[in-house]
Amino acid sequence: MDLLGNDYPYSTSALTGKHALVCGASKGIGAATAKMLAKAGADVTVCARNEEALNQLCQELKTLGSGNHHALPLDLEDTESIRTAVTDLLQQRGNVHILINNAGGPPGGPLLANTVSDFEAPFKRHLHAAHTLTQIISPGMEQEGYGRIVQIISTSVKEPIPNIGLSNTLRGAMASWAKSLSRELPPCITINNVLPGFTNTERLGSLASSINQRTGKTVEEVHDGWMSQVPIERLIEPLETASAITFLTLPASGGIRGVSLAVDGGRLRGI
């Protein structure tokens, strides 16, 4: 499957003239999303802490589309830095039409093992950052008459996943936040969530290692247990998830608002 080649599902000019800000873009689903948006013609600003990885990604984005791409090194746990950096970005590169809220998840483990202080950094990195970015960026979206906000969260919004209690709590808060905003944002701005299932990323590998250390199961046994729950019997590739995210940013998706779309190979059992 070559979703950035001959099998690319969208027009390569669908997002021409649109400026996208992709958070957590240094790897995984965030990087894949940046590539998909660039392929669709968007000007993409990629954001993460790893400046070297962002610069490398920008070089790749230049080969995928005709847009103007930019790296924005940023720590999403630093709210004041977000305000300063994104305000400067808007002044230098113009309004943002597409905001992808994405960040790395917290460590796994039982929820009762977490102290209150354990919640602070993940909530800053996810909920606080997403809220701050939306407050700064949405007025420009309204001015432009076009806005698409997408959160990359988790299927735990629908069905909590064992042994990642802090992440389950955080993802649920993000989904409720987005649904609330879907009733408040101007008509020209949509907000939706994408819920990745078991996806072929470093994050999933680290969770498998954590389960191995805690239970003694081999990584292969952990993986097989996950796949037994997935009707397509394989991991989702990041570009597959990015394809769904990109659809929600297109002009054609304007009627979709306040939904949580699972990209999980059919694992969730609810309708």
Read off the CATH number of the domain in which 32 is found. 3.40.50.720
Length of the chain: 271
User: How many domains, in total, are found in the chain?
Assistant: 2
**Do 223 and 121 have their domain in common?**
no
SS3 143: helix
Q: What domain range includes position 25?
A: 19-197+236-262
Same domain for 73 and 175, yes or no, is: yes
Neighbours of 102 (CB within 10 A): 27
Q: What's this model's pTM, rounded to 2 decimal places?
A: 0.94
Residue (of 80, 77, 76, 86) closest to 19 by Cα position? 86
Residue 159 sits in the same domain as residue 221: no
Residue 103, domain member (yes or no): yes
Token code pair at residue 82? 């977000």
Q: Please say whether the beta carbons of 133 and 232 come within 8 A.
A: no
Among 165, 252, 238, which residue's Cα sits nearest to residue 197? 238
Per-residue pLDDT of the chain (271 residues; tens, 9 = 90+): 578 987 899 999 999 999 999 999 999 999 999 999 999 999 999 999 999 999 999 999 999 988 999 999 999 999 999 999 999 999 999 999 999 999 988 988 899 999 999 999 999 999 999 999 999 999 999 999 999 999 999 999 999 988 889 999 999 999 999 999 999 999 999 999 999 998 888 776 766 676 667 677 787 877 777 788 899 989 899 999 999 999 999 999 999 999 999 999 999 998 8
119, 226: one domain: no
Is there a single domain that holds both residue 203 and residue 250? no
